[in-house]
Structure 1
């Protein structure tokens, strides 16, 4: 397992863009004259999860790391609107805000779902794609949903949202408690990295700290993943690299069959890594991504 150290002196610039009435946060890592590279985090994560990756890639890329709505330092949706299409719209608005004709994208987990949809809708705007354990719901999840049925799933979604909205804000007594939560979710995460991730995942409140993330983001609507299909993916024209984690709950050998839906796809499986493979095997991850990404040159 490779560990990485983030140089906290090397801080990005915090910026904002607007989408659908929300004020959203992104980090600009400089080198604005270089080709644009977006690093997209997953559900429940935040932009600072990419710090080490951004620091390693910023010499050759103009790296931007956004916080999705309801995450990090971006605003929460006042009506709890956390549907996949809203996130795709945010990505489209970010591209317009940056005045970008095209970009390369590295995206983790749910961020990969958003990136793939965007690349299908706007193939001319995406030059290269790296999808980090982010191809959509697992086969087991889809099977459970099919067995549950649409009516029961929708009712459960309503009931879960009501329960979450009625709960008081959970207060953590210290940053150490937040760090321990990260380490519970990812057994391979070092204590130093857990502390760093926790620092950017919580905000100070009376009595301690609270998660920045809107708890309603935890509940996906039944309709959210209807477009994760070969019919949509066939519109993606960018060269696409799928990175899989051998120990992720998402991975089975059969999942690699999805690569056949893409015009230019390849895959790589990381051993001794879970869902957060870019933390678990950082050096190998950076090597594979760097070998794949090619900054476009003027012809």
Structure 2
């Protein structure tokens, strides 16, 4: 995500422990409000691509098939790897992200699985909507899974979702357990403790310069200028800048400059997604937290993420008691950026032995 996104809350400062405040909604921060490695992790590269290791080059060289699937009148961007007829995996990204957040992870599974990564409606190259709802995201995931052959192997697919996408995977698993074999959430939370949320809500009126319908997102004159403003949300350093750069470049699109001087760059996601999101539904489904979750579930989280701390402090969580949880050392919220190979190893080991 980038700092020129719609904001609802200002960020709390990073603590000395290196743990970031968890909230995957876009927020705004003024220049200098965060440390440089958090505020603008790509600025020092001045538009150049950071050096990358060979494993990463080999992974992204396994180019996906790029196509679109229609769901509820919306075209959804999908990337696919592997042969139809093998067990299906569906990867779902976080808020304001896109399908390419998994482009350097998914190829590690293509030999054994039919793999799909989708861009949620309003994000990536998928169409925007007048309104967004958890139930619609669940319907979209099912449409994508069927259209890309994830059921063709004779077994229902396994859904894997990060952050906000993990929330959508959880919602779909609870409401439609018949659609999936299992669900894996990656560093997925459900908001901070009530007292912290109250404090943040009180700060909302102080936030200014937020893109809205009548105050559009900023357009940058060059790719370099746009990359210099990219940052992760919730705020954290970019553990591997070459991954952040890969993601950031694919987060941008060409648009006309307001003064007619040519084309510039802006972020691809709908800046008003949160304002359009139907909050009558939440990641738990309707009513209180479910007590009978039928879908096998696992949660993978970063050791430096605030997810577990918030839950211990009283943050709401509908995860079932006794659910398997796997910690990835030396990782913040964006595990695929901080510890991509550790995430691959954890997923591989998990899929080899679970859910049976």
Q: TM-score, normalized by length of structure 2? A: 0.69
| C-alpha distance in 2 between matches for 1:261 and 1:76 | 30
Is the 8 Å Cα contact of residues 217 and 271 (structure 2) preserved in structure 1? no
1:84-103 alignment to 2 at 5 Å?
84-98=134-148, 100=151, 102-103=156-157
| Equivalent position to 1:23, from 71, 75, 87 | 75
| C-alpha distance in 1 between matches for 2:240 and 2:184 | 24
Is the 8 Å Cα contact of residues 175 and 285 (structure 2) preserved in structure 1? no
Q: Which runs of 5+ in 1 are unaligned?
A: none
The alignment status of 1:135 with 2:189, answered yes or no, reads yes
| Equivalent position to 1:125, from 148, 170, 179 | 179
Is the 8 Å Cα contact of residues 71 and 213 (structure 1) preserved in structure 2? yes
Deviation sequence 1:176-215 (CA, Å, 0-9, x none): 3333334464413433222211221111123421111010
- Counterparts in 2 of 1:6 and 1:241: CA distance versus 1, 3 Å: farther
The alignment status of 1:177 with 2:225, answered yes or no, reads yes
| Equivalent position to 2:97, from 45, 50, 72 | 45
| Equivalent position to 2:305, from 243, 248, 258 | 248
Is the 8 Å Cα contact of residues 60 and 295 (structure 1) preserved in structure 2? no
| C-alpha distance in 1 between matches for 2:72 and 2:279 | 22
| C-alpha distance in 2 between matches for 1:105 and 1:238 | 11
2:347 equivalent in structure 1: 289
Deviation sequence 1:213-242 (CA, Å, 0-9, x none): 010124455434373689554443233221
Corresponding residue SS for 1:38: strand
Deviation (angstroms), 1:147: 7.5
- Counterparts in 2 of 1:92 and 1:230: CA distance versus 1, 3 Å: same
Is the 8 Å Cα contact of residues 105 and 128 (structure 1) preserved in structure 2? yes
- Counterparts in 2 of 1:168 and 1:253: CA distance versus 1, 3 Å: closer
| C-alpha distance in 2 between matches for 1:200 and 1:45 | 9
| Equivalent position to 1:114, from 152, 156, 168 | 168
Name the structure, 1 or 2, with higher relative contact order (CA <8 Å, separation 6+). Answer: 2
Deviation (angstroms), 1:248: 2.1
| C-alpha distance in 1 between matches for 2:283 and 2:217 | 32
- Counterparts in 2 of 1:13 and 1:98: CA distance versus 1, 3 Å: closer
Deviation sequence 1:145-170 (CA, Å, 0-9, x none): 56899xx9xx98xx99x961111341
| C-alpha distance in 1 between matches for 2:285 and 2:199 | 19
- Point out the structure with the larger helix share: 1
| Equivalent position to 2:65, from 3, 10, 13 | 13
Give the number of aligned pairs: 287
